Chain A
Amino acid sequence: MRSLWLWPTINLLATLITGVIVSIAPATPLQPYVVMSFVCFCPGMALVRFLRLHDLAIELSLAVALSLSVASIAAGALLYAKHWSPVNTLTTLVLLTLTCSIAQLIMQLPIVGIATTQKQSDDIAESETMALAALKGKVGEQQEVVKASTPQPPSRVRKAAWGLEEVATTVIPATANQRPLQSIGQGATSKSHKKEIELDPVSETGQMDG
């Protein structure tokens, strides 16, 4: 729940601070830090939050890439239209971020009724798990071992954030007719390998603290 409010609020505050610094108190020593942080991060994060990826590494990276892409495309469009104006470009980014952040905050309100609560997020994740259940028939023993060795993390959101959420990722060994290079690797997923998984769950499943 907290994370659903967190980023829109941060974006909103960052946008307001940037607006104040640029319009009311320009040429202060703070301006480069504030504007660069805003341009490099906020517009992208405002867009990325709509994707609900539940993967902090990708979300942060995508936020930076999208922010700079949108900034460059907006600035380039003005330049090629012979209306080069950093102020107008910045205003565009501020408006974009404001709109997206406010929309996200509105979507959190219970009255709007959009699936955004923690419980509903969990339901989404659960439905993904159920969708995987069909695949699980093919997963076999190795997958069972992977799942069994997965301790329940203290915070599901936190684990998912670093891509450590096992629910969203599944390991599916190839079936017999899909196994490649059979002439060399007949039974290449050897018994000793499987045994190693059982003995060393940390190594194979990569379980780590968040």
Chain B
Amino acid sequence: MQSMSKQISIAQTRDISYAPNVMDIICLLLPAGTFLCWWSTLGSVNIAAMNDLGLVSVMPRLMIICLMVMMVSFCLTLQQPRPRTSLLLLHVGLLIIMLYGVTGLVEQAPRFNIVYRHNGYTEYIMRTGTVDPYLDAYFNWPGFFILTAFITRASGLHDILSYADLAPVFYNLLYLGPLYVLFNTFTTNKRLVWLAIWIFFITNWIGQDYISPQGFFFFVYLLIMAILLKWFKTPPDVVARRPLRQHRHFRWYFALYRWLTAPDPIATPLPALQRAALLVSVVIMMAFMTYSHQLTPFFLVIVTIPLIIFGRISRKLWWLPCLVLAMAFGWLFTMAQPYLIGHSSNIFGGLGQFFTSFNANVSSRVGGDPQHTFIVRLRLLMPLGLWGLAFVGAMFRLLKGHRDATIVIMALAPFPLFVVQPYGGEMLLRCYLFSQPPMVFLCASIFYEVPSLTASKRLRWIERMKGPIARIYGVQGTAISCLLIIFMATFLYTRYGNELMDYKTPDEVRGVIHLYDIAPPKSLFVEAWHGSPWQIQDFEKFSLIDVSVDIGLSNAVGRLDVNYVVHYLWQHRSGNVYLFFTRTQFATFDGTSGFPAGGLQKFEVAVQASGKFNLIYRTQDVQIFQLISAVGG
């Protein structure tokens, strides 16, 4: 394939017609047919039979084969002498539906318990027309929920659950535009751009693309970076400031400085007026970001500051990160003051606590039953594999003479935030997400930036290794396909490995809504274990206890000590007390608690047999008990 493309001379290139050839038709029919085949398998997915390996355990074999065929079809299209943008776009569009729309198509209720809580925030705003910062931390950054409340009400809908299923597909389609522009600022090689985009979508397993502020503001972050790097780069004729006097002992420092400040070869000019208007647009988006999400502005700042310092982006934009910081802290110290008063130690206390962050983000997640542990280990290994390949790609590009300071800064800059703030054990995931675009670009470079090592005498030892490498690259398309298939196979486990805990049945949702309907205000709701779709409505009217976050209570559940639980609830009650069990709780308990599987079912039996609770509601997936008021006395 590569040799074929090499035969195209410049003169021939000019004469190539735009008429589709046989391969174009194949590259159109293959993904379309594969998609239809994949669609036909959706009906045979039996969600109820899922095990702890997640969605992949109930995926029909044909469905998985279709995904693999899509990988091959994309490679085939990409390796054409003149790959067509429209066909590549078709592949990416179909892939996004197949990877991110599958749960919405096979499941009957939106996945993730957090989505139901977001519904609760939205419902509160729709019902009261206000936000209460003292009620919940989310109400200190309410912009996104104000937006969902407005859209839901203006659309005549009752809640966000009616369109929450579409969010992953919608968000990932949104990511496509900025990614395309961003990668085009890194290279002029369109094949590399499309391969990087493809790898992004088959490695984006983080799952932040549900209906959430962070999912949307990742898109805004990408867009702002794309705008800055496309139109606001330092002009190549601006000479970088020289560092202090050169000294022979610090040669590496000067080499590094030259690399960091080397001019960017790809520039796109824009008249001053349009640049100013673009900056106004960026500021509007930043304002929305600042009052909607507490974390993303800091990712934006931590990435843009080094880019500006080293002249990757025009130094005239020094005010931009300052403005973001001013807005973020301005909001924090004024509108988010209620949160700040109660959580200042959470915000600033994490500084320097690397081991706490590491424990919260990594160690504490590896536990539970063997299948869940396998998924967690795979989730830890996949980023390492991607980063390793990105490192190799970066080396290849370095040896080819590319000065990738912009890409490397974008890839590494998010990680200091992991050191300073564990963010409830999620910061490493966020760092992975924000560093993923440059990482996948470097990873894709392995196939299109094979270095020529003969130029340097010092690197001849690498040249000796080129023999087997060259043999692999003789079948470049095969090599790309193999890597994509490996990524794809891993994605199915990493993305949907926790699906048994993430998916919700309509029965569960109905049961929880029933609880909210029957309980009088000021009742205490007790979630027997983490994971149910609660906080779905009437956010401010009820008190909540999650048994899994209290060590004493969770141990009591583990040893089936109903009396301890009753005593605890009686002390904390402010009205009626309801203890409820759902299917997701059982799955989460078995998967992550560390107690023997089936322990929560036994606890439920013990609760029923204790005589201290009345069973007031029972369906297949939900059981609701009410604490008998006499037992406390």
Could you tell me which A residues sit within 8 Å of B by CB distance? 22, 26-27, 31-32, 35-36, 39, 47-48, 50-53, 55, 57-58, 60-62, 64-66, 68-73, 75-76, 79, 82, 84-87, 89-90, 128, 131-132, 135, 138, 145-146, 148-149, 151, 154, 162-164, 168-174, 178-190, 192-193, 198-210
Residue B219 at the A interface, CB < 8 A? yes
In whole Å, how far is A69's beta carbon from the nearest beta carbon of chain B? 4
Q: Is the CB of A168 within 8 A of B268?
A: yes
Partner of A204 from the list B188, B216, B230 (CB cut-off 8 Å) is B188
A128 to B292, CA, bound (A): 38
Partner of B191 from the list A146, A168, A188, A206 (CB cut-off 8 Å) is A206
A207 to B454, CA, bound (A): 28
Q: Is the CB of B144 within 8 A of A72?
A: yes
Q: Is the CB of B288 within 8 A of A73?
A: yes
Q: Is the CB of B10 within 8 A of A198?
A: yes
In whole Å, how far is A111's beta carbon from the nearest beta carbon of chain B? 23
A-side contacts of B237, CB under 8 Å: 135, 138
Partner of A70 from the list B163, B236, B284, B455 (CB cut-off 8 Å) is B284
Q: Is the CB of A138 within 8 A of B156?
A: no
Q: Is the CB of A181 within 8 A of B255?
A: yes
Contacts A79-B131, A202-B8; is A58 near B177 (CB within 8 Å)? yes
Band of interface residues on B? 35 or more
Q: Is the CB of B154 within 8 A of A206?
A: no
Q: Which 5 A-B pairs have the closest CB atoms?
A: A206-B190, A188-B401, A84-B129, A61-B177, A180-B259
Q: A22-B154, A72-B143 are in contact. List 20 more A-B contacts (CB 8 A).
A: A31-B156, A32-B163, A51-B274, A58-B227, A61-B178, A62-B281, A73-B284, A75-B147, A79-B130, A149-B13, A168-B268, A174-B236, A178-B258, A181-B255, A185-B398, A186-B456, A189-B401, A201-B13, A208-B82, A208-B84
**CB within 8 Å: A-B pair count:** 260
14 pairs, CB–CB < 8 Å, chain A vs chain B:
A22-B154, A32-B157, A39-B154, A50-B277, A57-B181, A58-B178, A69-B285, A151-B13, A171-B265, A179-B262, A185-B401, A190-B454, A203-B189, A207-B190
Contacts A26-B156, A57-B180, A180-B258; is A72 near B292 (CB within 8 Å)? yes
Residue B287 at the A interface, CB < 8 A? yes
Chain B contacts with A in 1-19, Cβ cutoff 8 A: 2, 5-6, 8, 10, 13-14, 16, 18
A-side contacts of B2, CB under 8 Å: 200, 203
A-side contacts of B400, CB under 8 Å: 188-190, 193
* Binding site secondary structure of chain A: helix
Q: Is the CB of B193 within 8 A of A206?
A: yes
A54 to B216, CA, bound (A): 25
**Taking CB as reference atom, which chain A residue is nearest B189?**
A206
B-side contacts of A209, CB under 8 Å: 18, 82-86
B-side contacts of A184, CB under 8 Å: 255, 398, 456, 458-459
* Binding site secondary structure of chain B: helix
In whole Å, how far is A50's beta carbon from the nearest beta carbon of chain B? 7
Q: Is the CB of B151 within 8 A of A35?
A: yes
Contacts A27-B156, A47-B281; is A68 near B266 (CB within 8 Å)? no
Residue B58 at the A interface, CB < 8 A? no
Residue B291 at the A interface, CB < 8 A? yes
Residue B174 at the A interface, CB < 8 A? yes
In whole Å, how far is B481's beta carbon from the nearest beta carbon of chain A? 18
A181 to B456, CA, bound (A): 12
Q: Is the CB of A174 within 8 A of B263?
A: yes
Q: Is the CB of A55 within 8 A of B156?
A: no
Partner of A173 from the list B153, B156, B265, B270 (CB cut-off 8 Å) is B265
In whole Å, how far is A157's beta carbon from the nearest beta carbon of chain B? 15
A72 to B292, CA, bound (A): 9
A72 to B149, CA, bound (A): 10
Q: Is the CB of B150 within 8 A of A169?
A: no
Q: Is the CB of B13 within 8 A of A174?
A: no
In whole Å, how far is A38's beta carbon from the nearest beta carbon of chain B? 9
Q: Is the CB of A208 within 8 A of B6?
A: no
Contacts A27-B156, A172-B265; is A36 near B163 (CB within 8 Å)? yes
Residue B226 at the A interface, CB < 8 A? yes
A113 to B217, CA, bound (A): 40
Task: Encode contact with A along B251-291: 1 for CB under 8 Å, 0 otherwise.
Answer: 10001001110110111111000100110010011011001
A205 to B82, CA, bound (A): 11
Q: Is the CB of A171 within 8 A of B188?
A: yes
A138 to B240, CA, bound (A): 17
A61 to B282, CA, bound (A): 12
A-side contacts of B263, CB under 8 Å: 172, 174, 178
A-side contacts of B259, CB under 8 Å: 180-181
